[in-house]
């Protein structure tokens, strides 16, 4: 009976002896290095990684938190590789050509930890989309985050976009759709509609606006040469049918000297992360 009993207890006795030898060795090392028991890392952090962070104050947390995230690094690469350089995104009907002017991001600590961005702001010049040409475009992207599908996507929702078109470009654009009249924007910031064949005969001053999400063009006066007469009361407005993609709507239209500004709200925007990364890798 004694032999089998000692055989079963042998592994346990061996483990106990090993622990005792390790404790003695640690005690000897502590005496040699001057380490105290209070200086040892706790059981929940044997490597001593989290304990210093747990003792930080709120201000120290903000200062010690990493200032860069993977998304921030990617956007920094895009900024370095694209600002001031003509670029093209998309293909076919979704092709957009532009020259990036600026790219700014706001990434808080919580957003950085989850690979997101609080918001992203960019501006571009010489933007071409389908048959539209804009002198400048600025956009504010909210809730920028990644979405994993068959391919990783960068998603933002919503987006506020401001488009600026020169008066000359607006005249050329509308001439292809409305041949009977000519639309122009004066140096004083007035939008005038003239007969296309005899523009010197007369003109009608109009003021565009957005009402309940629809474009409304309301006449405010008419004239000939240098003379002009204001229209009293509310004139019958025109409501042009503006075909916008799903999820895009007008929010404002503003007339400035020699240019027209159009504001849009886009519900959601998506871009393939690999396509964005390719833009960041383009050599200078």
The span from the CA of 267 to the CA of 274, in Å, is: 23
257 and 184 together in one domain = yes
- Cα separations in angstroms, 164 against 39, 81, 128, 256, 262: 64, 25, 12, 10, 6
Evaluate if residue 104 carries a pLDDT over 60.
yes
Three-class secondary structure assignment of the chain: CHHHHHHHHHHHHHHHHHHHHHHHHHHHHHHHHCCCHHHCCCCCCCCCCHHHHHCCCHHHHHHHCCCCCHHHHHHHHHHHHHCCCEEEECCHHHCEEEEEEEEEEECCHHHHHCCCEEEEEEEEEEEEECCEEEEEEEEEEEEEEEECCCCCEEEECCEEEEEEEEHHHHHHHHHCCCCCEEEEECCCCCEEEEECCCCCCCEEEEEEEEECCEEEEEEEEEEECCEEEECCCCCCCECCCCCCCCCEEEEEEEEECCEEEEEEEECCEEEEHHHHHHHHCCCC
Residue 19 lies in a domain: no
132 and 82 together in one domain = yes
Residue 220 sits in which domain range? Answer: 167-266
246 and 174 together in one domain = yes
- Cα separations in angstroms, 214 against 136, 181, 211: 23, 22, 5
Evaluate if residue 282 carries a pLDDT over 60.
no
134 and 74 together in one domain = yes
Reported as a single tens digit per residue, the pLDDT across 12-61 is: 555 545 555 555 444 444 444 444 444 444 544 343 333 333 444 444 44
pLDDT greater at residue 63 or residue 186? 186
Average pLDDT over residues 232-249: 86
171 and 133 together in one domain = no
pLDDT of residue 41: 45
176 and 252 together in one domain = yes
> Is the separation of the CB atoms in 109 and 62 below 8 Å?
yes
Residue 39 lies in a domain: no
The span from the CA of 232 to the CA of 234, in Å, is: 7
275 and 245 together in one domain = no
Neighbours of 122 (CB within 10 A): 21
Distance of CA 58 to the CA centre of its chain: 29
Q: Among 125-129, 143-147, 227-231, where is mean pLDDT lowest?
A: 143-147
Q: Which residue has the tokens 């075909």?
A: 243
Percent of the chain with pLDDT over 90: 35
Residue 57 lies in a domain: no
141 and 273 together in one domain = yes
User: How many Cα atoms are found within 13 Å in the side-chain-facing hemisphere of 236?
Assistant: 0
209 and 129 together in one domain = no
> Is the separation of the CB atoms in 75 and 66 below 8 Å?
no
Residue 3 lies in a domain: no
Residue 34 lies in a domain: no
| Bridge partners, 225 (sequence order) | none
109 and 192 together in one domain = no
Reported as a single tens digit per residue, the pLDDT across 135-186 is: 999 999 998 887 776 677 888 889 999 999 999 999 988 887 788 899 999 9
Q: Which residue has the tokens 């004239």?
A: 223
Domain tally for the chain?
2
Q: Residue 158, preceding bond cis, omega within 30 degrees?
A: yes
The span from the CA of 189 to the CA of 191, in Å, is: 7
88 and 178 together in one domain = no
181 and 233 together in one domain = yes
Residue 148 lies in a domain: yes
pLDDT of residue 63: 41
pLDDT of residue 91: 79
Q: Among 2-16, 115-129, 207-221, where is mean pLDDT lowest?
A: 2-16
């Amino acid at each position: 009976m004694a032999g089998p009993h000692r055989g079963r207890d042998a592994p346990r006795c061996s483990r106990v002896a090993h622990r005792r030898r390790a404790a003695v060795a640690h005690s000897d090392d502590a005496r040699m290095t001057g380490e105290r028991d209070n200086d040892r890392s706790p059981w929940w952090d044997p490597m001593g990684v989290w304990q210093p962070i747990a003792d930080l104050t709120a201000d120290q947390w903000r200062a010690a938190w990493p200032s860069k995230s993977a998304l921030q690094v990617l956007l920094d690469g895009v900024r370095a590789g694209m600002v001031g350089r003509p670029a093209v995104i998309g293909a076919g009907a979704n092709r957009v050509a532009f020259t990036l002017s600026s790219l700014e991001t706001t990434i808080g600590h919580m957003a950085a930890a989850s690979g997101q961005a609080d918001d992203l702001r960019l501006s571009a010049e010489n933007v071409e989309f389908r048959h539209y040409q804009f002198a400048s475009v600025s956009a504010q992207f909210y809730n920028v985050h990644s979405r994993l599908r068959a391919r990783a996507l960068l998603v933002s929702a919503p987006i506020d976009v401001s488009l600026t078109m020169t008066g000359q470009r607006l005249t050329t654009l509308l001439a292809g759709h409305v041949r009977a009249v000519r639309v122009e924007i004066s140096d004083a910031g007035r939008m005038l509609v003239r007969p296309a064949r005899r523009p010197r005969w007369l003109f009608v001053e109009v003021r565009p606006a957005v009402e309940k999400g629809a474009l409304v063009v309301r006449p405010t006066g008419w004239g000939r040469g240098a003379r002009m007469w204001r229209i009293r009361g509310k004139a019958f407005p025109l409501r042009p049918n503006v075909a916008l993609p799903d999820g895009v709507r007008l929010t404002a239209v503003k007339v400035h000297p020699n240019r027209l500004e159009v504001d849009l709200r886009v519900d959601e925007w998506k871009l393939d992360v690999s396509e964005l990364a390719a833009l960041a890798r383009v050599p200078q």
